[in-house]
Structure 1
Amino acid sequence: MALKIEMLRGFVAVARNGNLSDAAEQLGRTPSAVSMMLKQLELHLGEPLFETDRKNKLTVLGQFVLEQAEQEIAHFDTTVRAIESYAGAEVGHVRIATVPSVAGTIMPRVFSRNINSYDGVRIELRDMDSKSILHELSQGRIDIGIATIGQNSSGLDSRLLLTDRFGVVCSSAHELANHRDLVTWAELANARLIMNGLSEGIGSTESLALHAGAGLSAYNLTSIFGMVRANIGVTILPEMAVQAGGQADLVFRPLADEVATRQIHLVRKADSALSPAARRLERDILKTVEEMRA
Structure 2
Amino acid sequence: MDPHEQFRAEVEHNIDGLVADADLQALSRIWIREATPYKWTYNFTWLGRPAIQVPNDTWALQELVWKIRPDLIIETGIAHGGSLIYSASLLALLDLCDATERGELLDPKKPARKVLGIDIDIRAHNRQAIEAHPLSARIEMIEGSSIAEETIEKVRAVAAGANRVLVCLDSNHAHDHVLAELEAYAPLVSPGSYCIVFDTVVEDMPAVFSEHRPWGPGDSPKTAVHAFLKSHPEFEIDSRIDKKLLITVAEDGFLKRTG
- Normalised to the residue count of structure 2, the TM-score between the two structures is 0.22
Higher Rg of the two aligned structures: 1
Which structure has the highest strand share of the two?
A: 1
